[in-house]
Structure 1
Amino acid sequence: MSHDPSDLTLALRLADAADEITTTRFRARDLSVRSKPDRTPVTDADTAVEDAVRAVLAVERPGDTVAGEERGGTASGTGRTWVLDPIDGTKNFLRGLPVWASLLALVVGGTPVIGVVSAPALGRRWWAAAGGGAWVRDAAGERRLAVSGVARLADAYLSTTHLGSWVEYHSREAYLALVDACWENRAFGDFWQHCLVAEGAIDVAAEAIVNPWDVAAAQVLVTEAGGRFTDLAGKPRFDGGSALSTNGHLHAEALALLNTRSTTGYGGLQSSS
């Protein structure tokens, strides 16, 4: 799972380029929007970011492959693949809500080794490199991240995305069992909840359905902050179609609740912008 130290520098530079495009188009009156086959929205900013990132990578890393939400590709295999979600939280972006981000990850041999999550409207950027820790930069400056020390679900803060996804792709009853076991719950959603786990602000984030580009960066961010990231089957992978990130202490218990009451098994992939 080796990577060149310059890979993180490049990933941060790609995030800068993405931020320049997204901030210009955020709340723009002439924003162009269309629907993909799964009826999720895509904006001209989504495609512009992905095209810009791909153009840089074609020059800087011509031997690497790219997998992106808008232009396709796969992160499977033994080589090096850059995995990109140009705007995670497109529905928020469309409604003028600031909770959206550009997600970049470098996957080597099937494992994310670099992750960058850049949310310029929130004034925050998170990043991590395998063996180098996880970091955040915001108005208060730059600091290293560490997950919480909460050891009981009864004391835990839980987050998820759309509740209806649990009905369709896993089990509403299983998720509600986890909710009932925790102290508090919210729906911060998408990238933000995994970043909050890495920060130690919340303790558990669960998603019944994700695509690889939704969580590749989150996997390395959470694990480098000292937490644990798996799919809902308990496998440490970003491409399993679901996601559970925790501070590590709570992972086994959360998995047990989500699986003992599961009635439908695991769904396939869909876009979750």
Structure 2
Amino acid sequence: MAAIPFQVEKYAAISAVVRACALTMSVFNRLVKSETVTKDDKSPVTVADYSAQAVVNTILAHAFPNDPIVGEEDASDLRKPEGALLRERIVELANEALTGIVADKENVNWGLGKARSSHELLDAIDRGNYAGGPVGRMWALDPIDGTKGFLRGEQYAVCLALIVDSIVQVGVIGCPNLHVDVSKPDGERGTMFVAVRGQGAQQLSLSSPYGDGIPLRISSHSPLSSIRFLESVEAAHSAHGFNARVAAVLGTSQSPNRMDSQAKYCVLSRGVEGDVYLRMPVPGMGYQEKIWDHASGALLIQEAGGIVSDSLGRPLNFGSGRTLGENFGVVATSIDIHPKIIHAIRQVQDEEKIGKF
């Protein structure tokens, strides 16, 4: 019987994300609640970022030693003498996650069960320094996507994707604070979203991350007047005003659903909590989207029957390096609504050019 493509990669990614989610939740409960934090002062969110990346990269290095990783963090500051206290915290947390007992698919070990040295974990973090490119296999990792959501105890995500020759083949997103049942927003929290190209997309719970899960299908029947936009909480991350003008062109009066991280892709894939994820650059910021912020989510939407492009309707290019440098903006929605969103974006852009706004 022929092997199912990318099954080993899928289960390794699930194992890594489950442990990283448990680690980040532990950091929040033990450190964030008791400390005044900002990302600039080596705070608990920084500890969580580094230690989660160490855990994920350690598992990937064992399972796929030849695969490079494009990650958000590097360990240069941790190697300095003044980084000793932060380094000790990270090593402790990472080893807790690597040695803790967590059920794995068919009891595959992934090199777990033993503590790593500080040197080994710093080297694991630095495996994320790969520059990316159009050819070969590579993993894209965001150990904590949605920093401010994490600090607020709201939405954030651990995101991991396998990219082969510029095409995302596996995407796994863990959302520790996202409710499992859409109809029970006060019920169980902790979700896992898994997509493999050509094999569909599923939602599972973080407490039971293996199995078939719930098949996902993006909504494709909303009239334009009732569609709801998904967008970032922070106005600095996406142009809220532009989104509002696009919504007005479409004739929708629904308030946007704002949340941090790739959790937006996740709720879009469930087809209930939003119909369009629109992320347009804030003028003057010069920001380029990072591939780790969209790789997993883009595949999730595609496998749920939707489409993801930039604001010009072009596919996202995950083979141009660490950023989506060739793309402008991100649009994710159902196939039937997508061309109408692109048309509305162009209309608003044309109106901006003639000074209507």
RMSD across aligned positions (CA)? 2.9
- Whose strand proportion is higher, 1 or 2? 1
Q: Tell me the residue number matched to 1:230.
A: 309
Per-residue deviation, 1:250: 0.9
Point out the more displaced range, 9-18 or 204-213.
204-213
Following the alignment from structure 1 to structure 2, what is the Cα–Cα distance between the partners of residues 55 and 118?
Answer: 18
SS in 1 for 2:264: helix
**Separation in 2 of the partners of 1:43 and 1:166?**
23
1:245 paired residue number: 332
- Bigger relative CO (Cα 8 Å, ≥ 6 apart): 1
CA contact (8 A) 1:100 1:121 kept: yes
* TM-score (norm. length: structure 2): 0.65
Larger Rg: 2
Contact 2:45 2:151 in 1 (8 A): no
Give the Å deviation of 1:160: 0.9
1:52 is matched with 55
Instruction: Report the counterpart of residue 135 of structure 1 in structure 2.
Output: 202
TM-score normalised by structure 1 residue count: 0.84
Give the counterpart of 2:154 among 98, 114, 118: 98
Secondary structure of the equivalent of 1:49? helix
Superimposed CA distance per residue, residues 37-67 of structure 1 (whole angstroms, 9 cap, x where no aligned partner): 9xx9952011101111112222211111100
Q: Secondary structure at the match of 2:61?
A: helix
What is residue 264 of structure 2 aligned with on the other side?
A: 193
Which runs of no fewer than 5 residues in structure 1 stay unpaired? Answer: 265-273
SS at match of 1:94: helix
Deviation at 1:5, TM superposition (A): 2.1
1:16 equivalent to 2:18? Answer: yes
Between the aligned partners of 2:62 and 2:36, the Cα distance in structure 1 is 28
Deviation at 1:129, TM superposition (A): 0.3
In 1, the alpha carbon distance for the partners of 2:45 and 2:308 equals: 28
Q: Over residues 229-272 of structure 1, what are the superposed CA-to-partner deviations in whole Å (9 max), with x where a residue is unaligned? A: 112221221523532110121111111212332259xxxxxxxx
Structure 1 residue 153, shift from structure 2 partner: 1.9
Cα distance in 2, alignment partners of residues 108 and 194 from structure 1 = 21
Partner of 2:275: 203
- Please list, as runs of the form range in 1=range in 2, the aligned pairs for 1:174-189 lying within 5 A after superposition: 174-180=242-248, 181=250, 182-184=252-254, 185-189=256-260
Give 1:166 deviation, angstroms: 4.3
After superposition, the Cα gap between the structure-2 partners of 1:176 and 1:103, relative to the gap in structure 1 and judged at 3 Å, is: same
Instruction: State the shift of 1:155 in Å.
Output: 2.4
Where structure 2 has 5 or more consecutive residues not aligned to the other structure, the ranges are 75-128, 179-189, 282-288, 319-323
Aligned to 1:158: 229
In structure 2, how many angstroms separate the alpha carbons of the residues matched to 1:31 and 1:3?
45
| Superposed CA offset, 1:55-102 (max 9, x none) | 22222111111001113433322111110000111112122x231110
Secondary structure of the structure 2 residue equivalent to 1:27 = helix
The structure-2 alpha-carbon separation of the partners of 1:137 and 1:187, relative to structure 1 and needing over 3 Å to count, comes to same
CA shift digits 1:188-239 (9 cap, x unpaired): 3421221111111121011124321111100110000000011222122152
In structure 2, give the amino acid aligned to 1:16: V
Rounded Cα–Cα distance in structure 2 between residues aligned with 1:5 and 1:139 = 19
How far off its partner does 1:164 sit? 4.3
Q: What are the equivalent positions in structure 2 for 1:59-98 lying under 5 Å apart?
A: 59-71=62-74, 72-95=129-152, 97-98=153-154
Give the alignment partner of residue 125 of structure 1, picking from 179, 192, 196. 192
d(CA) in 1 for partners of 2:27, 2:44: 15
1:150–1:156: 8 Å Cα contact kept in structure 2?
no
**1:32 to 1:176, Cα distance in 2 relative to 1, 3 A:** closer
In structure 1, how many angstroms separate the alpha carbons of the residues matched to 2:207 and 2:271?
Answer: 16
**Would the alpha carbon gap of residues 88 and 256 (structure 1) be closer, same or farther in structure 2, given more than 3 Å must change?**
same
Distance 2:265 2:195 in 1: 13
Q: Tell me the percent identity.
A: 26
Are the equivalent residues in 2 in contact too, given 1:211–1:241 (CA < 8 A)?
no
8 A contact 1:41–1:90 mirrored in 2: no
